[in-house]
Structure 1
Amino acid sequence: ATEADAAAETEAAAAAKAVAARRAALDERKRALEREERECEEAELQAATKAAAAEAAAAAANAANAAAAEAAKKAAHAAAGEVAEAERQEAEEREAAARTKAE
């Protein structure tokens, strides 16, 4: 019976070691999966941050282009007004010169 008991104890110890080794392997796999999940989440966050930054830059560029277009439109309008005023003054001066000549 003693040999049988010793054999059973040896077998039980071997089984316990196998279970412990399997548990350690599963724990390591779990840690690896958690690490991989964190890395994926960080990569997704970085991608989302880059996309948001690109979107903000595009919006800023659009706003700057719109402001530049509006400024150019105002400048063109002002220049057209100045040209019209200069033409009006020239016409008045010609009329005045013509009246002076006629007198």
Structure 2
Amino acid sequence: MGQQNGRRQYGRPGLQNRLRHRLRQRDRRLTVPGDLAVVSYDDEAAAASDPPLTAVRPQKRRLGALAAAMALARMADPAERPVHAFSCGPTLVARASCGGEDRASA
């Protein structure tokens, strides 16, 4: 938990935790994004929230494809293989829950 620009920030994973937190926040009459900025991890349900939640969107398909390709290569050639490293960074989708408009940035 921290503060930035006079707003409280919470980092809590999971949709169930976000919903529980939103209910408590409404009971305390805090506004989003006025008093509280909310960011979600995983963008599957974030846009449907009220207000739409800013989200960190992981590259699930790319990560899955890379993992499958590496597993298949290891199965085809079970001899010792070198360690692979790759970058598969997420995308930030800024929405109303942080005072932003709907937009995606890499």
Check whether TM > 0.5.
no
Whichever structure has more strand as a proportion of its residues is 2
Whichever structure has more helix as a proportion of its residues is 1
The structure, 1 or 2, with the larger RCO (C-alpha pairs under 8 Å, 6+ apart) is: 2
Output the TM-score relative to the length of structure 2: 0.24
Structure of larger gyration radius: 1
